[in-house]
Amino acid sequence: MYNGTICLETFVAGVRNFATYFRWTEEDELFCLRASLWGPVGQLFWDQGYQVMMADLIRLSCQCFGTSDIETTKAK
């Protein structure tokens, strides 16, 4: 589950690892990502509508919740 409190890039990399191993389609990968979003980041998905694509969802999530820079900042 992803709720915006950990590095988004790390979470997405984990989803993509499963997608590669299980040979998911982009639709399968997007389904898994959608089902894993909770809290504010989940609301972002619902605000964008059901037809949002994987790349758009990741881009918007990174803009709103940051990237690996957040993880680095929190560690300091």
- Taking only the tens place, the pLDDT of each residue in 3-33 is 877 787 888 889 999 999 999 998 898 889 8
- Taking only the tens place, the pLDDT of each residue in 43-69 is 877 777 777 787 887 787 777 776 544
Which are the contacts of 16, defined by CB distance < 8 A and separation ≥ 6? 29
Specify the higher pLDDT residue, 14 or 75. Answer: 14
The four Cα atoms 36, 38, 43, 48 give a dihedral, to 10 degrees, of -10
Specify the higher pLDDT residue, 34 or 67. Answer: 34
Average pLDDT of the chain? Answer: 78
- Amino acid found at 45: F
Q: Enumerate the domain spans of the chain.
A: 8-75
| pTM for the model | 0.67
